[in-house]
Amino acid sequence: MTSDRTAGIAARTASAEVDLAAFRRNVRRLHDHVGDVSIMVVVKADGYGHGMINCAAAARAAGAAWVGTATPTEALALRASGDRGRLLCWLYGPDEDLEPVVAADIDLTVHSPEQLASVVAAAAAIKTTARVQLKVDTGLSRNGSPMRDWPDLCAEAADAERAGAVAVTGIWSHFAAADEPGHPSVARQQQAFAEALTVSQQAGLTPEVRHLANSAGAITLPEARYDLVRLGIGCYGIEPVPGQAVAAGLELEPVMTLRAQLVNVKPLAAGEGVSYGHTWIADHDTVVGLVPLGYGDGIPVHASNRAEVQVGGRRAPIRGRVCMDQFVVDLGPDAEDQIGDEVIIFSGADRGPTAQDWAQACDTIGYEIVTRIGARVPRRIVADHDHDPQAGNR
Ligand SMILES: Cc1ncc(COP(=O)(O)O)c(C=O)c1O
C-alpha cells in the first residue's frame, strides 16, 4: 500500500518502506521500559518522514494516550484523519487562527502572556474552555517561558483557569542534551523543572501531566519521567545515542527502509571522472551503477564520496557528487549487477547500512536522514503482521 502523498517517483523505481509493525513494537517496548507513566508519541514533520497519519494511528494502536505535533496545522490534520485522542502542539506564530485548534480539543502549548491572551480570546470567541499546557524554558533557550517570567505566567494562567477560559492540563519543558549522558545541563534542567513545578503549585495550578523527557531522557533518566514522556526518534527505531537503548536492554527496530532499483549499470575506465565536478576519478577499471534518488529527495550532498549503499548483499560506496535526482555507486570491477537490481540505501543492520550509518558518514544526526526524505519518494506501508504477535488483537 502506498500513501496518498503526491509522489514524483514510481514506487517500483524507488520508495521508502515504512514498517508500521516495527513502529508499534518500538512504541510498546519503550512504553514497557518507562513503566507506569503515559507516553506521547511525537509525529511532527510528517512522522519524522515516515508519514504522520499512519504513524499516529499506529502509535494509538500501540497504547499512546498522547500524540504530539509541532504545529497546530499538523494537529488539525490528525483530527481530520479521525484521531480523537489527546493531542498536544507547541509551535505557532503570533497571527495564527487558534479557534479551530481550540474547537478541535487540541492542547495548545503556551509560553507567554501574549500566547495565553490569544488562546483565551479564541476560547471566548467559540464559548468554550481551551486546554493549555504551560512550557517553561529550563535551559534549552529555545521556546518556553524564561524562569524569571514563570511566576507571572503561572499566576495569569491560574486566573484564566478560575475564569473558566482555560484548563491548564500540563506543565512541561524540553532537554538540551539528554542524549549526552552526564552533560551538566541535564541535572541543571531537572533542578530548574522541579523549581518551576513548585512555582506552579504555589500559583494554584494542578496539571494533569508534567513532562520533561524525550526518547533519550525517557530511556536513561527514570527520575525525569514524571507523568508522561515524549517519545520521537526511538519509536522510529533510531537510537538517540548509538548503543544507549541496547545498553538499557531495549531493542529498537528500524522502521524506514529506503530502497531503489539500479537504473543504469556501466563500465568505467581508470582515469574517468564521475558526476558534477569530477570529485572522484577512477584509479582502476570498475563498474558503476546509477541510483535514481538525489538531494531533491533528501539524499545529502554531504554523502558524496562518503556514504555506502547495499547492492547484491555487499556494500557499494557512493562515487562523485550526489545530484538533485541521482547518484552513482561503485559496484566493483567484477560486478554482475543488472539494471533493475535492488539497492538498499538504508535499513536495518542486517539489510544494509542504517540511517545512523548515513548520519555518521554525513556528519549529521539520524533524525535528519529520515526526516528529510522528500515528498517525491513514495512511502510504501509494510504492515508486517506475521512478525507482530499482537497485530491481530487491535
Ligand atoms: C518538544 C519535543 N518533545 C519531544 C521530542 C521528541 O524527541 P526525540 O525524537 O529525541 O525523542 C521533540 C523532538 O524533537 C520535541 O521537539
Domain edges within the chain: 20-247, 256-382
Which residues fall within 8 angstroms of residue 132, CB to CB, at 6 or more apart? Answer: 107, 108, 109, 110, 116, 119, 157, 166, 167, 168, 169
Which CATH superfamily hosts domain 256-382? Lyase, Ornithine Decarboxylase; Chain A, domain 1 (2.40.37.10)
Residue 290 Cβ contacting ligand 1 at under 6 Å: no
What are the backbone dihedrals phi and psi of residue 382, each rounded to the nearest 5 degrees, phi first? -110, 100
Dist CA 301 CA 294 (whole Å): 8
State the catalytic residue, choosing from 44, 48, 226, 295. Answer: 44
- Amino acid at site 177: A
Dist CA 250 CA 232 (whole Å): 15
Q: Is 142 annotated as a binding residue?
A: yes
Q: How far is the CA of 283 from the centre of ligand 1 (A)?
A: 45
Dist CA 63 CA 38 (whole Å): 9
Dist CA 119 CA 92 (whole Å): 12
Query: How confident is the model at residue 246, as a pLDDT?
Result: 86
Query: How confident is the model at residue 7, as a pLDDT?
Result: 78
pLDDT digits (tens, 9 = 90+) for 336-394: 999 999 999 999 867 899 999 999 999 999 999 999 999 999 999 987 554 544 433 32
E strand or H helix at 315, and its extent?
Answer: strand 314-319
Q: Which residues pair with 316 in a beta bridge?
A: 309
Query: How confident is the model at residue 2, as a pLDDT?
Result: 52
Dist CA 237 CA 91 (whole Å): 25
Enter the DSSP assignment of 62.
Answer: T
Query: How confident is the model at residue 161, as a pLDDT?
Result: 98
To the nearest whole number, what is the mean pLDDT of the chain?
94
State the catalytic residue, choosing from 48, 92, 236, 276. Answer: 276
Which atom belonging to ligand 1 lies closest to the Cα atom of 178? 10
Nearest by Cα to 258 from 353, 123, 142:
353
Tell me if residue 295 is catalytic. no
Ligand 1 pocket: which of 26, 71, 135, 230 to mutate (most atoms within 8 A of CB) = 230
Q: How confident is the model at residue 267 (pLDDT cuts 50, 70, 90)?
A: very high
- H-state helical runs in the chain: 20-34, 44-48, 52-61, 72-80, 99-103, 113-125, 150-162, 184-202, 215-220, 244-247, 355-361, 366-371
Residue 230 Cβ contacting ligand 1 at under 6 Å: yes
pLDDT digits (tens, 9 = 90+) for 13-55: 999 999 999 999 999 999 999 999 999 999 999 999 999 999 9
- Domain 20-247 matching CATH 3.20.20.10: the answer reads yes
Query: How confident is the model at residue 384, as a pLDDT?
Result: 55
Query: How confident is the model at residue 272, as a pLDDT?
Result: 98
Q: Is 256-382 in the same CATH topology as 20-247? A: no
Q: How confident is the model at residue 242 (pLDDT cuts 50, 70, 90)?
A: confident
E strand or H helix at 382, and its extent?
Answer: strand 379-382
Assign 344 to helix, strand or coil. strand
Structural contact between residues 304 and 321, judged by C-beta atoms closer than 8 angstroms: yes
pLDDT digits (tens, 9 = 90+) for 92-130: 999 999 999 999 999 999 999 999 999 999 999 999 999
Structural contact between residues 17 and 382, judged by C-beta atoms closer than 8 angstroms: yes
Tell me if residue 276 is catalytic. yes
